[in-house]
Amino acid sequence: MLNRFIFIGILATLFMVNFINCRSDSKPSIKIVAKVEGENLSQEELWSWMPPDLPEDHREVLARQYVDRWVQKTVMAQAAKSEGLTLSAYEKWSLDFLQKEMLSQKYLEAKLPRDIIVTDQEISSYYDKNIQQFIRNEDEVHLIQLYLDNLDRAIAEEIKEQGNLLEVIQKNFLDAQPNRMLEKNGDLGYISINSLRKEIMRLVKTGTTGKIYGPIQLENGYYYFQMMDKQSSGSYRRLDLVKEDIRLRLIAMKREKLIDELAQKLVEKSDVKIFSEYIK
């Protein structure tokens, strides 16, 4: 009989242990990444802060930097509290206003269209009405350039045969290869002539468009360039050169108008009072 009671007791104990384990398993476990005097940084909070689609090796480095920063800020904030330091009324107001800014931004993201359409006609009309905004203030050159750390005879021969510097650069992936001068290889678009190196500037000012110049030996390597066009100060930039800039301007303008209209509707529906006599 005694053995029977012992057996039943063991079964009951095992049941209770299993029940407790099941209950604990049903609750999501919170993984703590860092802890400072009772304040915790969870893994969930850490991952929610990390940018999406970050490479795994970059993710760990950035995560460690964030944890270190969280620890530093937390210990300093706790030290400030222990010494009786508090936020001023203005700082508390700024914190509250920042929260309003963040909430209003989320509201706009939910209410405004994801894509704001700008037509070619709108771009053309803006260009015509604001043509004075697109006057050049300096002499400019449309330049294609190539820096090489060492003189490459095969590349030099190919440039000579092709007569198209950009084609040679792209064919040999030279626009993706770094060089000691840390300068971009390829099509630079229109740039100020005064921004060029002195030895290059002289050739550009007196040179002929379409011609390839080089190899020119510089202190860190060899240089080729081809001028596609030259424009003097006071000339107008063509519409195709500023089309993308205009499109972005118009998107910003349309977005600002939508925000104003949305805010105005909310103001009209809300109980808003402004006491102008105190704004002096």
Number of neighbouring beta carbons within 10 Å of residue 226: 24
Task: Tell me the C-alpha distance between 19 and 141, whole Å.
Answer: 79
Asked if pLDDT for residue 3 goes beyond 70, the answer is no
The pLDDT assigned to 12 comes to 44
The pLDDT assigned to 60 comes to 85
The pLDDT assigned to 28 comes to 56
Task: Tell me the C-alpha distance between 70 and 35, whole Å.
Answer: 10
- The model's pLDDT over 98-130, given as tens digits with 9 standing for 90+, comes to 999 999 999 999 999 989 999 999 999 999 999
Nearest partner of 146 among 137, 133, 138, 155, judged by Cα: 155
Residues 6+ apart with CB under 8 A from 34: 40, 41, 67, 70, 71
The pLDDT assigned to 175 comes to 87
Spell out a b/e string for 141-178, using b for 16 or more CB atoms within 10 Å of the CB, else e. bbbbbbbbeeeeeebbeebeeeebbbebbeebebeeee
Residue 191: strand pairing partners: 141
Nearest partner of 215 among 142, 141, 153, 143, judged by Cα: 153
Number of neighbouring beta carbons within 10 Å of residue 123: 19
Report the half-sphere exposure of 148 (CA within 13 A, side-chain side).
Answer: 21
Number of neighbouring beta carbons within 10 Å of residue 194: 9
Task: Tell me the C-alpha distance between 94 and 91, whole Å.
Answer: 5
The pLDDT assigned to 113 comes to 92
Residue 186: strand pairing partners: 145
- The model's pLDDT over 38-85, given as tens digits with 9 standing for 90+, comes to 899 998 988 888 888 878 778 888 888 999 998 999 999 999 999 999
- The model's pLDDT over 170-225, given as tens digits with 9 standing for 90+, comes to 999 998 877 776 778 999 999 999 999 888 899 999 889 999 998 998 888 899 99
Mean pLDDT of the chain: 87
The pLDDT assigned to 80 comes to 94
Which amino acid appears at position 186 of this protein? G
The 3-class SS string of 208-251 reads: CCCCEEEEEEECCEEEEEEEEEEECCCCECCHHHHHHHHHHHHH
DSSP string, 51-116: PTT--HHHHHHHHHHHHHHHHHHHHHHHHHHHTT----HHHHHHHHHHHHHHHHHHHHHHHS-SS-
Per-residue pLDDT, averaged over 1-5, amounts to 46
More confident residue, 89 or 16: 89
